[in-house]
Amino acid sequence: MATFTVTRNDDVVDPSDGRTSLREAVNGAIASSGDDTINLNGIAQVNQPIVINSNSGRITFQGNGSNSGFSGQDRSQIVFVNQATVSFSNLGFYNGYLYGGDGQKGGGGGLGAGGAIFINRGDVTADRVSFVANRAIGGNGGG
């Protein structure tokens, strides 16, 4: 069991800078055995989805209210849960965005699913979580 505290809110992975981004905290929690906690004290910006793959225990994201959580900056899905056990508590998902691909040669457009969070099998719990201004838009049909 490990506890990670996000100390930088931009989406940068730099193990030598002495700070921990959301992406670095998630990578550490996935690599750790047992249940882990990731503390967020601000709004972590993501440039691409945070992918949480199957892990050996529960990952708990713990915020401190409306001033903590995640932002997709109106250009990225925020979290993709893939066969993992995850809890979100006392935080928000802001400005997530996912656009399904456009169809080709008469085909339909792709599914836009999960602007804030997409769950591909898994156990996900949300307690005191807000979802604000997230969008998932299906792609256009091909002509």
Q: Residue 21: phi, psi to the nearest 5?
A: -85, 165
Low-confidence ranges of the chain (pLDDT < 70): 101, 106, 109-112, 139, 143
pLDDT number for residue 110: 63
User: Per residue in 14-43, pLDDT tens?
Assistant: 999 999 999 999 999 999 989 999 999 999
- Alpha-carbon distance of 99 to 29, in angstroms, equals 28
pLDDT number for residue 104: 77
Using DSSP bridges, classify how beta strands 79-94 and 69-71 pair: parallel, antiparallel or unpaired.
parallel
Angle at Cα 100 formed by Cα 96 and Cα 102, nearest 5°? 145
What mean pLDDT, rounded, does the chain reach?
91
pLDDT number for residue 54: 82
Task: Find out whether 29 and 22 touch, Cβ atoms under 8 Å.
Answer: no
pLDDT number for residue 1: 87
pLDDT number for residue 138: 73
Single pTM value for the model: 0.91
Angle at Cα 47 formed by Cα 45 and Cα 52, nearest 5°? 85
- Alpha-carbon distance of 3 to 60, in angstroms, equals 9
Task: Find out whether 99 and 108 touch, Cβ atoms under 8 Å.
Answer: no
- Alpha-carbon distance of 71 to 13, in angstroms, equals 17
DSSP 41: S
Coil/strand/helix, residue 139 = coil
pLDDT number for residue 76: 95
Could you tell me the two tokens for 132?
Answer: 């604000």
